[in-house]
Amino acid sequence: MTEPSPEERAHLNARILALETEHRDLDRAIAHLIDTGYPDQLGIQRLKKRKLAIKDEIERLKLAMMPDMPA
């Protein structure tokens, strides 16, 4: 894979920032559900799964921004 152009890099950075914000928001939502007297286990499980998918996507995007290493 080739190194991203400056425009692609800016787009990737913006996407990473948006995903990091969503990841933090999910953290707060999960904590809120857990702190309530009647936690919704299925809802918490879904949010945690989404949070993990976001983390994976962030890592994938960060890797896409790195230049290729020679073998």
Nearest to 61 by CA among 6, 9, 1: 9
Confidence bin at 39 (pLDDT 50/70/90): confident
Confidence bin at 40 (pLDDT 50/70/90): confident
Q: Which DSSP string corresponds to 5-42?
A: PHHHHHHHHHHHHHHHHHHHHHHHHHHHHHHSSS--HH
| pTM (2 d.p.) | 0.83
Domains of the chain, by residue range, sit at: 1-15+41-64
